[in-house]
Structure 1
Amino acid sequence: MIIPAFDFLDGKAVRLYQGNYLNKKFYDINLYERFIDYKKKGVKIIHLVDLSGTKNIANKQLSFFKDIIYCTQIPIQIGGGIRTEKDINTFFELGVKRVILGSSAITNKNAVKKWLKIYGSNKIVLALDINIINNIKKIAINGWLKETNSTLEEIIDFFSSENLKHVLCTDISKDGTLSGPNIILYEEIVKKFKHIKFQASGGVSKLSDIIALKKTGVNSVIIGRSLLEKKFTIKEALECWPNE
């Protein structure tokens, strides 16, 4: 399906270029009007990211997100600085559909395994953001500021024992660039991990990118900057993913 994405830094909609906090662009949008329009058009879920919380877990924008979640009828998945069971419970109590765990899946693997068991695989998305070096998919964490030695395949294998279902995979080199998605990456991982519902993220700039991603077999495509900059409309994007 099509999942519109909004990243927020200090209460403002923003896009980073390849995750770089020094290379950012803010957008002046009426979020509530946009959500109403998306609901009418048939959007099934919206992706929100707390970039303030990602950079510093002490700076979570909880009251800001509480207002957003309260004012929309579209299910929300949210990520950014979610590190503890308390964080997860807080967002579920606010009414989100799914929480997104990134850094914790690497730094606190056993806890994340436990949370998959407690909350169920439909309620948790693992965000596995990668730098591809010599075809090795190395995961980066902490707002992509720290590279790890963990690979995408290792982490999916580790959590598959707890019925991992949802994985958001971003090729960091593509994020926020409008340079086109990494089609080869998604073809490869969809073929390898047939039990995973992959969410593709990064690089979408035109409708043909969406069509190409659908052909890879990914479950969803997350679209941020191209919708914010009106490269195409949400209606046109949804029409590229019929019968969702």
Structure 2
Amino acid sequence: MIIPAFDLINSLVVRLYQGNYSNKKEYNINLFSLLEEYKSKGIQTIHLVDLDGAQDSNNRQIEFFQKFLFYERFSVQVGGGIRTTKDISALLNLGVKRVVVSSSIIENKKRVKKWLNIYGPDSIVLALDVNITNNKKEIYVNGWQKKTNITLEEIIEYFLPSGLKHVLCTDISKDGTLLGPNIALYKEISRSFKNINFQASGGIGSLKDIISLKQTGVKSVIIGRSLLEKKFTVEEALKCWQKE
């Protein structure tokens, strides 16, 4: 499916270039009005990133999420600094459909495995941000500042016995560039792990990119900047996805 994405700082929609808080662009949009339009076109799921919470878990935008979930009738997945059981429970209790976990995947693997068992695989999305050298898909964490020497394949194999179902995979060299996604990456991992619902993210700049991603076997495409900057409409994106 097509999943529009919004990165939020103090309830405002922004984009960070390659995860850099000092390289930030703000978008002067009425998010609630925009989402009414998206709903009328057939969008079902929204991806929100709490950049305040990612920097400081005590500064999570809970009040905004309460308002958002009260007014908007989407399935919502939320990421950004999810590190504790308390974080996950608070968001799921608000009505968030899925919680997106990133750095904890590496730093606290046993705890993440426990979360999959407690909350169920449909409530947890593992966000794997990779930098690829000679086809080694190395995971980076902490806002892409820290390399882990652990590969995407190793992590997926570790969590498969716990019922892992949803993985959001980003090639960090592509994120925010609008230069096209890493088609070879998504084709390879979709073939290798047929039971995983992959969400592709990073580099999507044209309708052709959406068509190419659908052909790789990924289940969803996360689209941020290209929709915000009107490279194409959400209606056009949906038509491309459904047509393939």
> What's the counterpart of residue 106 of structure 1?
106
Distance 1:143 1:58 in 2: 18
Distance 1:93 1:27 in 2: 29
> What's the counterpart of residue 212 of structure 1?
212
Instruction: Provide TM-score, normalisation by structure 1.
Output: 0.97
Equivalences for residues 220-239 of structure 1 within 5 A: 220-239=220-239
Structure 1 position 25 matched with structure 2 position 25? yes
> What's the counterpart of residue 11 of structure 1?
11
Instruction: Provide TM-score, normalisation by structure 2.
Output: 0.97
Deviation at 1:11, TM superposition (A): 2.2
> What's the counterpart of residue 175 of structure 2?
175
* Partner AA of 2:189 in structure 1: I
Distance 2:66 2:150 in 1: 33
Deviation at 1:59, TM superposition (A): 2.3
Gaps of 5+ in 1: none
Distance 1:67 1:146 in 2: 34
Q: Which moved more, 1:66-75 or 1:105-114?
A: 66-75
Contact in 2 for aligned 1:55/1:142 (Cα 8 Å): no
Distance 1:185 1:65 in 2: 33
* Partner AA of 1:212 in structure 2: S
Deviation at 1:155, TM superposition (A): 0.4
Distance 1:185 1:103 in 2: 21
Distance 1:145 1:69 in 2: 32
Structure 1 position 119 matched with structure 2 position 119? yes
Structure 1 position 81 matched with structure 2 position 81? yes
% identical aligned pairs: 62
> What's the counterpart of residue 57 of structure 1?
57
Distance 2:91 2:57 in 1: 14
**Structure-2 change in CA distance of 1:243 and 1:95 (3 Å):** farther
Deviation at 1:243, TM superposition (A): 7.5
Distance 1:5 1:146 in 2: 24
Contact in 2 for aligned 1:55/1:143 (Cα 8 Å): no
Deviation at 1:133, TM superposition (A): 2.1
Which aligned segments of 4 or more residues in structure 1 are displaced greater than 3 angstroms? none
Q: Secondary structure at the match of 1:235?
A: helix
Distance 1:89 1:51 in 2: 19
> What's the counterpart of residue 199 of structure 2?
199
- Deviation digits for residues 101-145 of structure 1 (CA, Å, limit 9, x no counterpart): 111111111111011011111111000011112321111112222
Question: In angstroms, what is the RMSD of aligned CA positions?
Answer: 1.2
Alignment: residue pair count: 244
> What's the counterpart of residue 94 of structure 2?
94
**Structure-2 change in CA distance of 1:58 and 1:147 (3 Å):** farther
Contact in 2 for aligned 1:98/1:122 (Cα 8 Å): yes
Gaps of 5+ in 2: none
Contact in 2 for aligned 1:139/1:151 (Cα 8 Å): yes
> What's the counterpart of residue 162 of structure 1?
162
